[in-house]
A and B are shown apart, each in its own frame.
Chain A
Amino acid sequence: MEVNIKDVVVPGDVAVEIMKSSEKERVILGPGLRRDCDRVLVTKAGVLKRRKPAIFYVDSYQKRYVPNRGENVVGIVTQKAGDIYRVDIGAGELASLSYLAFEGATKKNRPDIVVGDVIFAKLLVASKGMEPELICVDSHGKKGKLGVLSPDGMLFDCSLSLARKLLHPSCQLLTLLAKEQAYEIAIGMNGKIWMKARSVHETIAACNAILAAENTPPAEMPALCSSIARNLLRIS
């Protein structure tokens, strides 16, 4: 079936609009689209979207993470193997993280990481058929916001689309929530969120708000945040 931008698409649909774009323009096909000779086929179910000038992608609901280079992810250290850590980031394979990929780490001075720790890292290598590789420093050798996350927080899973929604610059939720209570958060593009607030109740409240945001339109986010805050008052 032929589909246009903003249609709900299913695998096998042909995106006609992309072919119509002018010759000179460089078309970028994002996730869920694939070129087959002179046609562009849809490979995922979702909503076909376009960003100016010519970036096309299918926005879909998904829980399984496919690593992409340069994305920040939250992972769990599962194993120490020689000079690398094996980190579970929810992808098909475990990612590797060298102990030298931390700020100020040398062969003598190893970072203090134990199995079960949660880390926030950037994907350095993520290609098909290769083990993904993580680092916890930026290109200047500084750690920035990356590194081991405190074990006092809470880790929970959400859908990939919710993680993307929260990280979108226009999403107001985190700002609104910050007006109600203090918290620290690390959102991984792999749908894992680490969250820490002052008390157990506050952490649960913040997690609750974030999970509820999945089905909340932006206009109702202030109401959502205030209802969470009211509930929190009632409990504590």
Chain B
Amino acid sequence: MRETPLSNCERNFINRAIAEDTRLDGRQLLEARPVEIHFGANWGCCHVALGETKAIAQVSCDIQQPKASRPNEGMLHINVEFNPIAAPHFEAGRQSELAMQVNRQLEKCFKDSRCVDLESLCIVADEKVWNLRVDVNILNHDGNLVDCASIAILAALTHFHRPDVTTTGDSITIHSFAEKDPLPLTLHHYPVCVSFIVFESGQIVMDPTYMEERVGASQLTLGLNSYRELCSLQLCYLGKTSVTADVVPSISPHAANYANKLVTQIRKAAQQDVEAKYNKEDRDVCRLKECITFGKLTAMTKPKLSIKLAHWVAGKSSPKSDMETSDFQDEDDNIKTLGHGSAELITNMSKSVGEGGPNTWQASEESSDDEIEDIEILQETKLEKKVLDDIDLGGDSEEEDTVTVSKNDIM
């Protein structure tokens, strides 16, 4: 399928907005979208969401004969797949030009910077070495695929453990995970990609969305590690404007700080999951399910608007509620003590106005000639919340009457 053409309106508007230091999604020019990292049940399986851009990476390994030029080093392959699942204009099967470019950028960042200690992957020199393969699948495309893929790869590599191997004489034994604990990879440093878009007006924008990528004049991707070292640099002209020489120095300190923060986040997430996996009960838990949002029609999209004002928070009366952290159901609920030995869990429904939450959609859709109970139902749920004021504390039994609103009531 072809890509939706970019209209002159969108181009003009975005250029005008950027010239006024405004971004459509309410971010600052040099502000990145929040990163979420979730690990799967296997070693080296990682799902990363950078705003609405999503990627999943899986590291796998097998034993191969090394290259003749480097007989005592293991091998690392990076493979990025762009499927129509990410965006309808990606073609299945054939590697597009964009896919090749992203693949090469990631290879430069991870392979050419030698962040994985390949020598430790050698089993028998010139005969048998570990061959690592990182497969990245883009699940949703909302711009900045390189950054998202690089975070996924780094997190997957940090998380990955390979089986232990013992050599006795000529024979090699590969131990299953049950026999011997698997070994993590050795990483010398932790590089990530940080992307920028330069607009015609000369403004620089960090972590561009799909729309900004299409409008921008040139794209700049820096590969940086947590020691503020540059691992790769890619400058790509999308339009005809030239980039002035001071672009790279002007953003590199900011990019380095951001990369440092990102690496800390990735390592922390990976470490937590690895520790949880070493606790025997927790071993096969797949945490990918945590990236699903509940109570929404499209469960994988975050309750975020693509166009919003800078400080706009959904919900009229609760500016303190922080949408970034609302993935956890617990934070939406608060527990109020009513008296001795009793408490009631109140789900904070009002905060989700306008940004996802339970679908309250039918009320106005109803055609005027059969306007039956739909509106009343909304009031019913509100009454539920007020009940806590009227509860009489006569009984000191711990069993409160709980009224559950079933799904049928709401529909």
Which of A118, A215, A219 is in CB contact (< 8 Å) with B354?
Answer: A215
CA distance A204 to B360 in the complex (A): 24
User: Which of chain B's residues has its CB closest to A213's CB?
Assistant: B354
Interfacial residues of chain B within 124-165, with CB under 8 A of chain A in the complex? none
Q: Sort chain A's interface into a size bin.
A: 35 or more
> Whole-angstrom distance between the alpha carbons of A200 and B307 in the complex?
12
Given the complex, which residues of A lie within 8 Å of B366, measured CB to CB? 49
The complex places the Cα of A168 from the Cα of B22 at a distance, in Å, of 32
Q: Which residues of A contact B354 (CB under 8 A)?
A: 212-216, 220, 224
Among the listed stretches B13-21, B75-83, B331-339, which one makes contact with chain A, having 4 or more residues with CB under 8 Å of it? B13-21
Q: Which residues of A contact B311 (CB under 8 A)?
A: 231, 234-235
Q: Are B364 and A168 in contact (CB under 8 A)?
A: yes
CB contacts (< 8 Å) of B308 on chain A: these are: 204, 208, 211-212
Contacts of A168 in B (CB 8 A): 364-365
B369 lies within 8 A of A52 (CB): yes
**In the complex, what residues of B have CB within 8 A of residue A223's CB?**
316, 353
A171 in contact with B364 (CB, 8 Å): yes
Chain B's closest residue to A76 (CB) is B7
Q: Which residues of A contact B24 (CB under 8 A)?
A: 204, 207
Q: Hey, which chain A residues are within 8 Å of B20, CB to CB?
A: 200-201
Query: Contacts A204-B17, A211-B306; is A88 near B364 (CB within 8 Å)?
Result: no
Instruction: Give the nearest-CB partner of A201 in chain B.
Output: B22
Is B314 engaged at the interface, CB distance under 8 Å to the other chain? yes
Given the interface pairs A212-B354, A234-B311, the reply to whether A151 lies near B9 with Cβ below 8 Å is yes
Give complex CA distance A153, B11 in Å.
Answer: 10
Bound state CA distance, A152 and B15, in angstroms?
A: 11
Distance of B133 from chain A, by nearest CB (Å): 35
Q: State A114–B352 Cα separation when bound (angstroms).
A: 42
| Known contacts A204-B308, A212-B314, A235-B309, A218 near B364 by CB under 8 Å | yes
A154-B13, A208-B308, A208-B312 in contact; A219/B22 too (CB < 8 A)? no
Whether B9 lies near A50 (C-beta < 8 A) is no
Take A215-B361, A216-B353 as given contacts and tell me if A170 and B7 are in contact as well, using a CB distance cutoff of 8 Å: no
Establish whether residues A154 and B10, one from each chain, have CB atoms under 8 Å apart when the complex forms: yes
Residues of B within 8 A of A232 (CB): 309
Q: Does A107 contact B (CB under 8 A)?
A: no
Task: Determine the chain A residues whose CB is within 8 A of the CB of B353 once the complex forms.
Answer: 212, 215-216, 220, 223-224
Contact with A along B296-321 (1 / 0, CB 8 A): 01100000011111111010100000
Q: Would you call B271 an interface residue if the criterion is a C-beta within 8 Å of the partner chain's C-beta atoms? A: no
Q: Is A59 an interface residue (CB 8 A)?
A: yes
Closest residue of chain A to B211 (Cβ to Cβ) is A156
Instruction: State the CA gap A170–B362 with chains docked (Å).
Output: 12
Q: Is the CB of B16 within 8 A of A215?
A: no
Cβ–Cβ < 8 Å partners of A138 in chain B = none
Which chain B residue lies CB-closest to A173? B364
Q: A interface vs B, CB < 8 Å? A: 6-8, 47, 49-52, 59, 61, 76, 78, 88, 90, 114, 116-118, 149, 151-156, 161, 164-165, 168-171, 194, 200-201, 203-205, 207-208, 211-220, 223-224, 226-228, 231-232, 234-235
Show 8 A/B contacts (Cβ-Cβ < 8 Å), sorted by A.
A76-B4, A116-B6, A149-B9, A156-B307, A165-B361, A204-B309, A208-B312, A232-B309
Residues of B within 8 A of A (CB): 4-13, 16-17, 20, 22, 24, 297-298, 305-312, 314, 316, 352-357, 359-370, 375, 378, 411
